[in-house]
């Protein structure tokens, strides 16, 4: 069965024109060389590590997952989605295998060929749940929830979004984590979104750091290409201020948004310790964590913590989204 993938074109849509005019999907990662010889997960990891020696191991692991999919998992016939700067969405069908264009400019070398079937799809033609699946900040991500592949294929043919008749009961919460990703994406370069752990928990309708809540938040942060600094699980109080930063963007975008590389940052764990070729697929499944309500630390209440110092931030405060 064909799958659906979103491949972004850079922070400012730098690769958008080339993608559409040349019939390509382009991954970025300008310092990274030819991946044709990387036939294994370990080969790919070694190549990325050589190209980016000053990045955090967690970021490198995240990039490896994305690039493994771009190189080895995407299959001709899969649907490719490209969000455009003007707010529309391009939808096409993948037609070719991974190719490295050594003669092209850095950032335009890792490509797959695409037959773009529709390049002006308004987001308004997508129902809210399908729009929300496009919220990830990852450069390469799979769109698998709510029968996304079949619905996007219908839109590519000029049909209306057929919707998902089997949408789960928690659908109304879907826009909330995606809204956090939008806040991060809209923050000025070099500034981070700051909020308390209490406010972060409220986005997931939670009031404490139970094991299930932690698993849910980590899963969603991974899907959205986000992490927290310091880790929201390790600060002593839920009134402690943390920063939410993107970690799933390609390196040229990361430098523009963060103003630094990630090796010196203490990041929240947002993927399994044994992350391998199927990590993003595992993260899309329902969490297997139990429903334990024991909080991390001895007590969440009765303690205050001064907000951590760091780069200038776009302060969010209590983030809320209306029920739908």
Give dist(CA 45, CA 36) in Å, integer.
13
Of 32-36, 108-112, 258-262, 316-320, the least confident:
316-320
- Of the chain, the percentage scoring pLDDT greater than 90 comes to 44
Q: What is the DSSP string of 190-241?
A: T-EEEEEHHHHHHHTT-SS--HHHHHHHHHHHHHHTEEEES-TTTSS-TTSE
DSSP string, 104-172: SPTTS-EEEEEEEEEEEEEGGGS-HHHHHTT----SEEE--GGGHHHHHHHHHTTPPP---TT--GGGG
Which residues does 195 contact at the CB level (< 8 Å), separation at least 6? 241, 242, 244, 315, 316, 317, 318, 319
State residue 159's pLDDT score: 92
The tokens for 249 are 């963007």
pLDDT at 181 over 60: yes
Q: Structure tokens of 152? A: 């996007």
Nearest-angstrom CA–CA distance, 246 and 8? 14
Per-residue pLDDT, 149: 93
- Tokens 């700067």 belong to 85
pLDDT reported for residue 202: 79
Whole-model pTM? 0.64
Q: Which residue has the higher pLDDT, 209 or 273?
A: 209
The residue behind tokens 């899963």 is 219
Give mean pLDDT, residues 130-142: 88
Give the pLDDT of residue 260: 56
Nearest partner of 270 among 1, 58, 46, judged by Cα: 58
Percent pLDDT > 70 in the chain is 73
Q: Is the pLDDT of residue 64 over 80?
A: yes
Measured torsion, CA atoms of residues 63, 281, 274, 198, in degrees rounded to the nearest 10: 80
Has residue 152 got a pLDDT over 60?
yes
User: Which residues have CB under 8 Å from 13's CB, separation 6+?
Assistant: 84, 85
Name the helix (H) or strand (E) containing 51.
helix 41-51
Complete edge-to-edge strand list for the sheet that includes strand 313-315? 226-229, 241-246, 192-196, 313-315
What would the pLDDT profile of 70-83 be if each residue is shown by its tens digit?
Answer: 999 999 999 999 99
pLDDT confidence tier of residue 146, bands split at 50, 70 and 90: confident
DSSP, res 173 = G
pLDDT tens, 229-256? 899 999 999 889 998 888 866 676 666 6
Q: What is the mean pLDDT of residues 259-286?
A: 48
Average pLDDT across the chain, whole number:
79
pLDDT of the residue at 144: 86
Please tell me the predicted confidence (pLDDT) of residue 88.
93
Q: CB-based contacts of 124: which residues, under 8 Å, 6+ apart? A: none
- State the pLDDT at residue 190: 74
Determine which of 40-49, 255-264, 295-304 has the lowest per-residue pLDDT on average: 295-304
Structure confidence at residue 188 as a pLDDT band (50, 70, 90): confident
């Amino acid at each position: 069965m064909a799958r659906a993938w979103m491949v972004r074109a850079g922070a400012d849509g730098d690769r958008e024109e080339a993608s559409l005019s040349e019939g390509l999907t382009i991954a970025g990662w300008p310092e990274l060389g030819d991946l044709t010889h990387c036939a294994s997960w370990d080969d790919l990891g070694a190549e990325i590590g050589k190209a980016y020696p000053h990045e955090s191991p967690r970021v490198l692991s995240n990039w490896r997952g994305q690039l493994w999919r771009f190189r080895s998992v995407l299959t001709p016939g899969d649907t490719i989605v490209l969000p455009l700067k003007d707010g529309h969405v391009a939808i096409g069908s993948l037609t070719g295998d991974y190719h490295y264009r050594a003669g092209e400019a850095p950032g335009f070398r890792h490509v797959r060929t695409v037959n773009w079937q529709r390049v002006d799809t308004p987001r308004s033609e997508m129902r809210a749940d399908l729009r929300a699946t496009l919220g990830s900040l990852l450069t390469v991500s799979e769109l698998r929830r709510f029968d996304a592949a079949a619905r996007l294929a219908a839109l590519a043919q000029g049909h209306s979004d057929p919707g998902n008749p089997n949408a789960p009961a928690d659908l109304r919460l879907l826009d909330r984590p995606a809204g956090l990703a939008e806040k991060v994406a809209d923050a000025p370069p070099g500034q981070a979104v700051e909020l308390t752990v209490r406010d972060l928990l409220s986005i997931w309708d939670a009031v404490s750091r139970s094991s299930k809540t932690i698993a849910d938040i980590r899963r969603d942060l991974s899907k959205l290409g986000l992490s927290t600094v310091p880790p929201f699980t390790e600060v002593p109080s839920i009134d402690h201020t943390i920063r939410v930063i993107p970690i799933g963007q390609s390196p040229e975008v990361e430098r523009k948004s963060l103003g630094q590389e990630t090796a010196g940052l203490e990041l929240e764990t947002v993927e399994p310790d044994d992350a391998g070729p199927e990590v993003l697929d595992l993260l899309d499944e329902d969490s297997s964590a139990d429903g334990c309500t024991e909080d991390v630390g001895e007590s969440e209440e009765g303690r205050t913590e001064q907000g951590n110092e760091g780069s200038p931030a776009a302060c969010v405060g209590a983030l809320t989204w209306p029920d739908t």
